Amino acid sequence: MRLCCLLLVIFVAFSCSKEESMVPVLDNTASGELKGTRVVNTVLELTGSTHFQSYAVKEHRVISPWELNMLECKAVLTIDGHDMTLETEESMGDMLYRTVTFTGHISSDGTVKFSWPDEWWDIEGGDRTMEDLEPAFFLHTGCIISGPDKAWEYMGKFDGQTFYASTHHMAKQVESGMIPFYSTGEGGLLEELIDGPIKFLNSIELTVVE
């Protein structure tokens, strides 16, 4: 019961590049306005949010809005040459929801690329492994991921002040999920299962703490 109540409050917590072909309403960020100079060989504190959007392609409607389905996030970004580490803590108010350490690559122009790690922690399952990722996604949304985008690879940009990275994938709903956006049950926002493919976009959007 505690898990069900928590999931009714948490709007999709699972997290490929951000493409121009993405439905415009899913492109509701300032990532296209990144300006500044990338900082090299440094450790920075950042703050912002993570967002979990989705769009029903056949029905032409937003399922999970950018501005509603989100978690607060603070992070530490370490850059060592072209190697980067992003340590994130996502929370809902005073409640810590998830901690993740991403490792990846940053190019000379600030382009970042990294994948979901093999291990992380969250409030629902404690210590997690990669084998838990898609089952947890299915539990939350009732959706099965399809196509080649199963690596949960993030791509984006860091300009010295603003960090943005996103991953996307396609999926199809086969049963009611536990998150309200994907639930046909009590407290859910769906009257019936979503018809056709669903495009998911998860993003990390942070700024350097002054």
pLDDT tens track, the chain, 210 positions: 434 444 444 443 433 333 333 333 444 343 444 455 556 789 999 999 999 999 999 999 999 999 999 999 999 999 999 999 999 999 999 999 999 999 999 999 999 999 999 999 999 889 999 888 889 999 999 999 987 655 689 999 999 999 999 999 999 999 999 999 999 999 999 999 999 999 999 999 999 998
Residue 199 near residue 49, CB atoms below 8 Å: no
Identify the burial level of 44 via C-beta atoms within 10 angstroms of its C-beta, where 0-12 means exposed, 13-18 middle and 19 or more buried. middle
CB 203 within 8 A of CB 162: no
Three-class SS of residue 163?
strand
d(CA 78, CA 104): 11
The reported pLDDT for the residue numbered 25 is: 41
| C-alpha torsion 62→16→70→192, nearest 10 | 40
Q: Which residue has the tokens 């998150």?
A: 179
Amino acid type, 18 = K
Residue 115 burial class via C-beta count within 10 angstroms: exposed 0-12, middle 13-18, buried 19 and up: middle
Alpha helix locations (H) across the chain?
2-9, 133-141
138 backbone dihedrals φ, ψ, rounded to 5° = -65, -40
Give me the pLDDT at residue 120, please.
94
Q: 0.85 exceeded by the pTM? A: no
Residue 150 is predicted with a pLDDT of 55
Question: In this structure, what are the phi and psi dihedrals at residue 7, rounded to the nearest 5 degrees?
Answer: -70, -25
pLDDT at res. 104? 97
- Ramachandran angles phi, psi of 72, nearest 5°: -70, 150
Place of tokens 């603003």: 162
